[in-house]
Structure 1
Amino acid sequence: MADKLTQKDLLDAGVHFGHLTRKWDPKMAPYIFMEKNGIHIIDLNKTLECLDKASYALKNIIRSGRKVLFVATKKQAQDVVAGEAQRLNMPYVTERWLGGMLTNFATIRKSLKKMTSIEKLMKDESYQNLAKRERLMISREKAKLERVLGGIADLNRLPAALFVIDVKREHIAVKEAQKLNIPVFAMVDTNSDPTGVDFPIPANDDAFKSISLITGRIGQVIEESLMERKKDKEEAAMKKEEEAKKKADEKETVEK
């Protein structure tokens, strides 16, 4: 199991720096330690506590074999989140959240099918026989679809949870998840409302280091859970094999 994060890790990454006091959301009061030079300082004890709660809940979701959708469209979070999601083979949205991506998932699936059919067409010999203008239009459409939907190309059904960076920016995604009772795990800064999030993690959601640290920790938890799930499946398969062998031996003994 990966080492737990410490207060020092969080301090070094600047997780404790909130927004200017005049930009705060009063609902974040329980997670604020103090005010310094006009900036709210996040209580890192609460951050560690919330991370533990989120990690425990995430483990149960991943061990049941379901997917977590990573959502982060702000520039400083895009590469970190996309990289971690790809490493874990999890779906992600880092370009733009399409309204209805969850609540109108049937339509999104049609767009995903369209993207797949374009990919097949481009590999076919007949594609080369098309006029240059037609090929250009098709390749542009593919690029557009891939940019917006590439991260969820393998998502066959609704995700079991969302991991969000900046709930204020991604409020549409959070609202859609709420409507469908999909739990939301999120980094929540002092200018955001944590009440719409099932598992808020009070943290600086603007600094690259802070985003990297928290996302990396969530990634470790998911990775461990995937390994545990694999181990559980292997043990179950071995047990089944042993039982089948035992039955075969018993049958053989009776026949003799």
Structure 2
Amino acid sequence: MYLGVLKKFKNQMSMEEENQNNFKENILMVTMKDLLECGVHFGHQTRRWNPKTKKFIFGVRKNIHIIDLQKTLRYFRYTYNIVRDASAQGKSIMFVGTKKQANETLKEFAESIQVPYVNYRWLGGMLTNFSTIRKSVRKLEIIEEMENSGQIDLLTKKEKLMILRKKEKLDKYLGGVRHMKKIPDMIFVIDVAKEKIAVAEARKLHIPIVAPLDTNCDPDLVDYPIPGNDDAIRSIRLFCKEMSEAILEGRELMQEEIVHADENSEEIEFVSNEEKEEMLAEIQKEITQGAE
């Protein structure tokens, strides 16, 4: 059964790579070969599946569900566009992934494109009680100010140690969101089954959720799913990489729009001093003629 699945996927690879060059809506460069090499097609054991993912499943191999990579590619392209367009509109996107396989990779890509992220532990209220989170971030900033000014050295050894431990804890939990001034417009989540609290808070606030959708997940919880393995490190890295590139592409589009708008604005509004004097003289002349 699995050999048949693999053969079909490989037969589709050349066709997908050829069509990739003709796909004009985005610059997503993921191919069937990439998905196979990263193990995106491996789901969970059949006993752990969520029946709602049935439409994304191609078959079974040794009690492991095999995800339909044709659908993965289609959803990947669509979601890439959604994320790119959100970024082009200036919307903020938050990365969330706290499990061991994901946390370092997610942090790497989030920091590389300067988006907020949570990779250690989701604190309840990070979205629904954001003002409290901001107060905690402010505490972190105050401790850093004390360090920079030397004020912390005026404390006793015990007090200084307690404050530094507090700083370490705050930085671990909130370091990825310390520059986030408002709740995000969208969140990208690795493993929605694990990040239940983050997903619940986002849904409560009607914040769109983008996520890989493994066979044990509930599709109803995700606004923009990408059927695929959310456990394998290479698969997680692929998802993080492409979402990061979608965000960067969106920023480039936004910058192009800003430059274009500025150029048009200058063409319309720029008037030299000589032209202003000529226009003023014409107006005065018209006023004089009108009075006569």
Task: Report TM bin, short chain.
Answer: over 0.9
Could you say what the CA RMSD is over the residues aligned between the two structures, in angstroms?
A: 1.5
TM-superposition CA deviations, 1:1-25 (whole Å, max 9, x none):
7452111110011000001111111
Alignment correspondent of 1:37: 62
Q: CA deviation at 1:26?
A: 0.3
Matched, 1:242 2:267: yes
Paired residues, what number? Answer: 256
- Whichever residue aligns with residue 270 of structure 2, its letter is K
CA distance in 2, matches of 1:95, 1:180: 22
Matched, 1:80 2:101: no
Alignment correspondent of 1:141: 166
CA distance in 2, matches of 1:182, 1:250: 51
Matched, 1:26 2:51: yes
Change (3 A) 1:248 1:227: farther
CA distance in 2, matches of 1:32, 1:250: 69
Q: CA deviation at 1:246?
A: 4.0
The 3-state SS of whatever aligns with 2:98 is coil
Q: CA deviation at 1:149?
A: 0.3
* Aligned 8 A contact 1:2 1:220 in 2: no
From 196, 200, 205, the equivalent of 2:230 is 205
Alignment correspondent of 1:157: 182
* Aligned 8 A contact 2:28 2:77 in 1: no
> Using CA pairs below 8 Å that are at least 6 residues apart, which structure has the higher relative contact order?
1
Provide the TM-score with structure 1 as the length reference. Answer: 0.96
Change (3 A) 1:247 1:180: farther
From 199, 206, 220, the equivalent of 1:181 is 206
From 28, 39, 42, the equivalent of 1:17 is 42
CA distance in 1, matches of 2:273, 2:32: 57
Q: CA deviation at 1:250?
A: 4.5
TM-superposition CA deviations, 1:64-104 (whole Å, max 9, x none):
21211100001111111101110111000000000111011
CA distance in 2, matches of 1:200, 1:215: 14
- Whichever residue aligns with residue 124 of structure 1, its letter is S
TM-superposition CA deviations, 1:118-174 (whole Å, max 9, x none):
111111122222111111111110110000000000000010000000000001111
* Structure 1 segments of 4+ aligned residues over 6 angstroms from their partners: none
Matching of residues 26-105 of structure 1 within 5 Å: 26-105=51-130
- Whichever residue aligns with residue 128 of structure 1, its letter is D
TM-superposition CA deviations, 1:160-193 (whole Å, max 9, x none):
0000000000011111000000000001111111
- Whichever residue aligns with residue 197 of structure 1, its letter is V
Q: Tell me, which stretches of 5 or more residues in structure 1 are unaligned?
A: none
Q: Tell me, which stretches of 5 or more residues in structure 2 are unaligned?
A: 1-25, 282-292
* Aligned 8 A contact 2:53 2:218 in 1: yes
From 115, 120, 132, the equivalent of 1:107 is 132
Q: CA deviation at 1:242?
A: 2.3
Q: CA deviation at 1:60?
A: 2.1
* Aligned 8 A contact 1:164 1:185 in 2: yes
Change (3 A) 1:65 1:124: same
Give the greater-gyration-radius structure (CA). 2
* Aligned 8 A contact 1:16 1:44 in 2: yes
* Aligned 8 A contact 1:103 1:180 in 2: yes
CA distance in 2, matches of 1:46, 1:23: 21
Alignment correspondent of 1:126: 151
